[in-house]
Amino acid sequence: MHLSSYPGPEHLPNYHEWMQDPDLLDATASEPLTMEQEIEMQQEWRDDDKKCTFIILARDLLQSYESSDGSDCDVDIPGVPSNDKCNNNNQDTQYPKLVEQTLHLMIGDINLFLSEEELEEDWDDSINDCIKCQDDTQTNNCKALSLSQAELDIMIAKKSHRHKSLGTELALTMMHYGASMLGIRRFFVKIKSTNTSSLKLFRDKLDFVQCAYAECFGEYELECKHQTADDMLKWVEEKWEKYCLQKGMTQTKLYDVYKCPL
């Protein structure tokens, strides 16, 4: 799997088509939108620093791409196409037409919605002392003890890619990113009682625990919480190691980050 940061306007036709599916709308507690509304929402999300959105690209859907001069150009991700591999006249970017070449790889999206936690009585003294510190030096040193939390949201829109354990890998990848890059120590999900596959993923496979239930919506809230973001990071890496052993996989890094000017 590959994750492409925030969906741009090029992704919207595919996304809009997905969200015509009544089952997806129900599972994601979403309302159907017009294309104009989709465009407006995409622009709002792009500019909202509390939303972290990625499009999920399926590596197994990679196909040859025909460049503008008619020659075949293999799309290679994350070793994205280079100018010497794909001959075209666009010199404005190191990775020409990368978004265009990967639209057919889209199978879903994954999001983090960031927010601040309310303080809890059971926090240890070191965190309480950190929160109370006043001078700038101490405050900067306290950033590692983040109060941040994030709602984790995963949608595998393509039915062909469901029930393939992608949810486990995607969740752990996003949790690792959130803990290491954003200082998240608490992740939570909101899942309808009828969404048994998501409940199985987070409750049974990822050991999230129930912290709330909204009877009027038939919706569970499950959480995974640790004292600090570093503790969360350690937990995710241990979970990934166990997952690799269970699947008979050679353990590798959960992900690499590639910055491509598009």
Q: Which span out of 29-38, 42-51, 187-196 was modeled with the highest average pLDDT? A: 187-196
What's the whole-model pTM score?
Answer: 0.74
For residue 218, give both structure tokens: 């038939």
pLDDT confidence of residue 183: 93
Residue 207 has pLDDT above 70, yes or no: yes
**Contact 205/168 with Cβ under 8 angstroms?**
yes
pLDDT confidence of residue 104: 84
- Per residue in 227-248, pLDDT (tens digit) is 999 999 999 999 999 999 988 8
**Contact 227/215 with Cβ under 8 angstroms?**
no
Residue 88 has pLDDT above 60, yes or no: no
Residue 79 has pLDDT above 60, yes or no: no
Q: At what angle do helices 166-182 and 229-247 cross, to 10 degrees?
A: 150
Q: Cα separations (Å) of 182 from 95, 114, 144, 177, 238?
A: 27, 9, 10, 7, 19
Q: In the chain, which ranges are continuous DSSP H helix?
A: 12-18, 22-27, 35-46, 98-102, 125-132, 136-141, 166-182, 196-199, 229-247
For residue 201, give both structure tokens: 């993923």
Residue that the structure tokens 């919207």 belong to: 12
**3-class SS at 101?**
helix
Q: How long, in residues, is the chain?
A: 262
pLDDT confidence of residue 67: 44
Q: Which span out of 7-21, 89-103, 114-128, 137-151 was modeled with the highest average pLDDT? A: 7-21
Q: How confident is the model at residue 20 (pLDDT cuts 50, 70, 90)?
A: confident
DSSP state of 205: I
For residue 152, give both structure tokens: 């984790």
Beta-carbon contacts of residue 153 (< 8 Å; ≥ 6 apart) = 28, 110, 111, 112, 113, 189
State percent of the chain over pLDDT 70: 70
- Per residue in 150-175, pLDDT (tens digit) is 999 999 999 899 888 899 999 999 99
How buried is residue 194: exposed, middle or buried, by Cβ count under 10 Å (0-12/13-18/19+)?
A: exposed
